[in-house]
Amino acid sequence: MEKSVTVTWAGKMTFIGTAPSGNCVTMDAGPKSGGLGLGHSPMDLLLMGAGGCASIDVVLILEKGRNDISDCVCQISGKRAENMPRAYTDIHLHFMVSGRDLKEKAVARAVELSMTKYCSASATLAKGAKLTYDWEVIEA
């Protein structure tokens, strides 16, 4: 299945990414690289994409299991190589799932399924970086 998006230059180092849905995201380099810092860096978007993809899976899996979840936050950190192209070498996703009477086992299963079977963004990044993850359950 092929997917196509468009990235259009908006001046300086600012670019607008447009998805087939018509939704847009602004990308920009920081001042050190000739940008104005008006948007997300493409490298930050890679991490956000992995966190978003995995979080969608976790929420869907927990909701299908009729778990009473009220929040899902994913903190993603990435370590980049020192030399160009400065690719991510290590990426860690930390899931904080809140809800009423959530079972550790259910959250662990949802995160494991996302990270080992369903999350295509994480699977793509894992081809070039060491991907790790953990989770915590928060009673809400």
How many domains in the chain?
2
What CATH number should be reported for the domain holding residue 59?
Answer: 3.30.300.20
Whether residue 102 sits in one domain with residue 35: no
Q: Would you say the pTM of this structure is higher than 0.85? A: yes
Q: Name beta bridge partners: 96.
A: 73, 136
For the stretch 1-21, pLDDT in tens is 898 999 999 999 999 999 999
Query: Residues near 124 by Cβ (< 8 Å), separated by ≥ 6?
Result: none
- The radius of gyration computed from the CA coordinates of the chain, to the nearest angstrom, equals 17
Whether residue 54 sits in one domain with residue 30: no
Q: What 8-state DSSP symbol labels residue 42?
A: H
Tell me how far apart the alpha carbons of residues 87 and 107 are, in angstroms, rounded to a whole number: 30
Whether residue 107 sits in one domain with residue 67: yes
Query: Residues near 40 by Cβ (< 8 Å), separated by ≥ 6?
Result: 25, 26, 27, 28, 48
Give me the domain span that covers residue 20: 1-40
> For residues 79 and 107, is the Cβ–Cβ distance under 8 A?
no
Q: Can you tell me the mean pLDDT for 23-29?
A: 97
For the stretch 95-120, pLDDT in tens is 999 999 999 999 999 999 999 999 99
Q: Within a 13 Å sphere around the CA of 23, how many CA atoms are in the beta-carbon half?
A: 1
Whether residue 86 sits in one domain with residue 28: no
Whether residue 100 sits in one domain with residue 72: yes
Tell me how far apart the alpha carbons of residues 49 and 100 are, in angstroms, rounded to a whole number: 27
Whether residue 118 sits in one domain with residue 80: yes
